[in-house]
Amino acid sequence: MKRIVTIQDISCFGKCSITVALPLISAMGIECAIIPTSVLSTHTGGFEGFTFRDLSDDISKIKEHWKKYNLEFDTIYTGYLGSKEQIDSVIDFIDDFKKESTLVFVDPAMADKGKLYTGFNSEFPSHMARLCSKADIIVPNITEASFMLDIPYTESYDEEYIKDILKKLCGLGCKKAVLTGISFEKSTQGVVYYNSETEEYYSYFNENIPASFHGTGDTFSSVLAGALSLGMNHEKALQIAVDFTVKTIKETIPYREKHNYGTMFESCIPYLLDKISG
Ligand code: PXL
């Protein structure tokens, strides 16, 4: 059985980060270990007055304990991290646990729609860029990519611009990059992927649904990290991750008034299992 460790926060209510990654990765038949980096009462988008318990000190303690047991992971998958100190501890973790065959998957979850999430200062993206330099694959949206590359955020772009950003992202040090939430025409949205080792690009699009829910980035990343860990090629893994994310959004739209804090991804798990076995 494949084994992933995911390192990100627990948002107790709201469906994102670990409460999305753990059920999806487990459902895909992959063992999922976790390192919770902080505990929040809710995610930081759309809720006022959330609590935040910093578990930064625990990251290195958990790491040292695990080293005594020589634990091994097929994939190290990182998501939302709350501070520079957490990023430093995660980099130490990668240095200690990455083997030749380990996939290091970094989702630099910190911003969307041109803005950093609540709680991050303008220096944070440069630290996230340091973590990205350690990755085999990174999956930023355009906002996160723009912050890490220190270029202006724009919503009007063409294919050439996106390809250039992908090359620049790989210039940070990662081997492969996926830009998420890309829309060249109104009716479609999807991802563009670049492999700097083979210099190949691949794009995959699905419907552009005029609705946005928290945690959809985490859904995409968890399924992509899972599919790649299972040994699928990038094309198939990206297709499954995009299609599943779209399915969860469509599933939630009829209930969006009461369920605007996250998607009803749970009822889409049978669809996911069907896709990965097909
Ligand atoms: O989905 C990304 C995410 C993860 N964790 C926390 C967040 C967010 C997005 O807002 O607030 C705490």
The predicted pLDDT at position 37 comes to: 98
Helices then strands, each counted (H, E), the chain: 9, 11
The set of residues, in sequence order, having a beta carbon less than 8 Å from that of 16 and lying 6+ positions away, is 43, 80, 214, 215, 218, 262
- Confidence tier at 278 by pLDDT (50, 70, 90): confident
Tell me the pLDDT tens digit for each residue of 102-160. 999 999 999 999 999 999 999 999 999 999 999 999 999 999 999 999 999 999 999 99
Please check whether residue 106 lies inside any domain of the structure.
yes
Question: From the CA of 80, how far away is ligand 1's center (Å)?
Answer: 6
* Residue 271: closest CA among 253, 245, 252: 245
The predicted pLDDT at position 127 comes to: 98
| pLDDT surpasses 90 at 26 | yes
Provide the b/e sequence for 4-34 (b: ≥16 CB within 10 Å).
bbbbbbbbeebbbbbbbbbbbbebbebebbb
For the CA of 109, the nearest atom of ligand 1: 2
| Nearest Cα residue to atom 6 of ligand 1 | 43
Please check whether residue 161 lies inside any domain of the structure.
yes
Tell me the pLDDT tens digit for each residue of 234-248. 999 999 999 999 999
Query: At CA 181, angle to CA 179 and CA 182, rounded to 5?
Result: 75
The predicted pLDDT at position 185 comes to: 96
Whether residue 103 contacts residue 229, with contact meaning beta carbons closer than 8 Å, is answered with yes
Number of domains in the chain: 1
Tell me the pLDDT tens digit for each residue of 167-214. 999 999 999 999 999 999 999 999 999 999 999 999 999 999 989 899
Please check whether residue 46 lies inside any domain of the structure.
yes
Please check whether residue 269 lies inside any domain of the structure.
no
For the CA of 45, the nearest atom of ligand 1: 10
Query: Domain of 8?
Result: 3-264
Please check whether residue 274 lies inside any domain of the structure.
no
Tell me the pLDDT tens digit for each residue of 66-86. 999 999 999 999 999 999 999
Residue 139 C-alpha from the chain's centroid: 6
Question: From the CA of 10, how far away is ligand 1's center (Å)?
Answer: 9
Pocket-forming residues, ligand 1, beta carbon under 6 Å: 9, 11, 16-17, 40, 43-45, 80, 109, 117, 214-215, 217-218
| pLDDT surpasses 90 at 46 | no
Please check whether residue 168 lies inside any domain of the structure.
yes
Question: From the CA of 252, how far away is ligand 1's center (Å)?
Answer: 19
Percent of the chain with pLDDT over 70: 100
Whether pTM exceeds 0.95: yes
Tell me the pLDDT tens digit for each residue of 246-267. 999 999 999 998 898 999 999 9
The secondary structure of residue 231, as a DSSP letter, is T
Q: Helices 216-229 and 18-27, interaxial angle, to 10°? A: 30
* Residue 212: closest CA among 245, 179, 188: 245
| pLDDT surpasses 90 at 96 | yes
The predicted pLDDT at position 163 comes to: 98
Please check whether residue 271 lies inside any domain of the structure.
no
| pLDDT surpasses 90 at 45 | no
The CATH number of residue 170's host domain is: 3.40.1190.20
Question: From the CA of 157, how far away is ligand 1's center (Å)?
Answer: 26
Please check whether residue 80 lies inside any domain of the structure.
yes
Q: Give the CA distances from residue 65 to residues 3, 33, 55, 87, in Å, rounded to whole numbers and listed in that order.
A: 18, 14, 16, 19
Mutate to test the pocket of ligand 1, among 7, 11, 113, 265 (most ligand atoms within 8 A of CB): 11
Rounded Cα distance between 210 and 187, Å, is 9
Question: From the CA of 92, how far away is ligand 1's center (Å)?
Answer: 23
CA atoms within 13 A on the CB side of 108: 37
| Nearest Cα residue to atom 8 of ligand 1 | 43
Q: Give the CA distances from residue 5 to residues 126, 169, 189, 235, in Å, rounded to whole numbers and listed in that order.
A: 24, 24, 29, 23
Whether residue 110 contacts residue 145, with contact meaning beta carbons closer than 8 Å, is answered with no
